[in-house]
Amino acid sequence: MSEVVTLTSSGWDVPFSAAEQELAVRALEGGSVLEFPRLGFPLLDGEDRLLSPSIAGNGKNVSLGPAGEGPRGSTADDEQLSLLRSMMVRFALSTRTLLQNLAPHYTAGLERARTSFRPVEIAGRSNSWRKDDTRLHVDSFPSSPTRGRRILRVFTNLNPHGQSRTWRLGEPFERVASRFLDSIPGPAWGASALLKVLGVTKGRRSAYDHFMLQLHDRMKADSAYQTEAAQCIHQFHAGSTWIVYTDQVSHAAMSGQYALEQTFYLPVDCMLTPASAPLRVLEHLLRRALT
């Protein structure tokens, strides 16, 4: 099962020693979750008013584009939207600073993606199995192919009532892939180009994206796997932050309310151990190039 490795830093812009940097990167790339139990994200005056599920309207998240577009998914008034945007931009910048200090060799390749605010309680939401994040899965974005780039995410639990965010953590990626790959056919000829032309995807899916999306779906659809797979429960307490490669770590978010999340993409070549990337693992198992 994936492990949780703890660092005690309590600041977003503090330096890390060379030993801490190596520990953090090897933990992340090895499939562990890196947790900072004392690293909360402080809210500024008035931002506590954003801690309401009504901010997300009928949805579950509010998102901000990497170039500052949005926020999208909120029915808040103009004043609240301005406050929300300011909070989310500040979080995005803080997470980038944290990663630059923690993994400086990532800096050149690190690409900021979407920022999200998650004010709705996870437990009890009604979703289709494919959108149900309480089921163990690895991340793959249907409309945004990564073409092998890593998905690195930073989460912070903002809950003002002390409620933890509860995750299940599952098996190592290679074990997951080995379990499902034999049942996944290769991509249909021409499908990648057609999906892009129809606007279903923002770019062409590589074979890697095809297999990762199928892994995501096969994991979630398999009820027996959800209960039988080796797994553990971890509580991310209010006022804590954690970082994880969600394309590698099998995870399920079970409960919790009020969190911020920042997604980054990273090319495999920027990693300390590229062989541990899902792209390289799948290529090894399938004995073929996937991008």
Q: What is the DSSP string of 208-241?
A: HHHHHHHHHHHHHH-HHHHHHS--EEEEE-TT-E
Q: Are 145 and 184 in contact (CB under 8 A)?
A: no
Contacts of 158 (CB under 8 A, 6+ apart): 40, 41, 43, 51, 238, 258, 259, 260
Q: Which of 251, 248, 249 is nearest to 277 (CA)?
A: 248
Q: Which CATH architecture has domain 23-286?
A: Sandwich (2.60)
Task: Check residue 70 and give its pLDDT.
Answer: 84
Report the pLDDT value the prediction gives residue 125, as an integer from 0 to 100: 84
The pLDDT of residue 276: 98
Q: What pLDDT is attached to residue 127?
A: 79
Q: Are 207 and 217 in contact (CB under 8 A)?
A: no
Distance CA 211, CA 218 (A): 10
Residue 62 has phi, psi (to 5 degrees) of -115, 135
Q: CB atoms < 10 A from the CB of 200, how many?
A: 12
User: For residues 38 and 102, what is the distance between their CA atoms, to the nearest angstrom?
Assistant: 16
What is the token pair recorded at 265? Answer: 């993409």
At 272, phi and psi to the nearest 5?
-75, -35
pLDDT computed for residue 271 by the predictor: 98
Residues whose CB is less than 8 angstroms from the CB of residue 21 and which lie 6 or more positions away in sequence, other chains included: 102, 103, 104
List helix spans (H) across the chain. Answer: 18-29, 78-102, 173-180, 191-197, 207-221, 223-228, 278-286
CB 215 within 8 A of CB 175: no
Amino acid present at 116: S
| Per-residue pLDDT tens digits of the chain, which is 291 residues long | 689 999 999 999 999 999 999 999 999 999 999 999 999 999 999 999 999 999 998 888 999 999 888 899 998 889 999 999 999 999 999 999 999 999 999 999 999 999 999 999 999 887 788 889 999 999 999 999 999 999 999 999 999 999 999 999 999 999 999 999 999 999 999 999 999 999 989 999 999 999 999 999 999 999 999 999 999 999 999 999 999 999 999 999 999 999 999 999 999 999 999 999 999 999 999 999 999
Compute the half-sphere exposure of residue 167: CA atoms within 13 Å on the CB side of its CA. Answer: 21
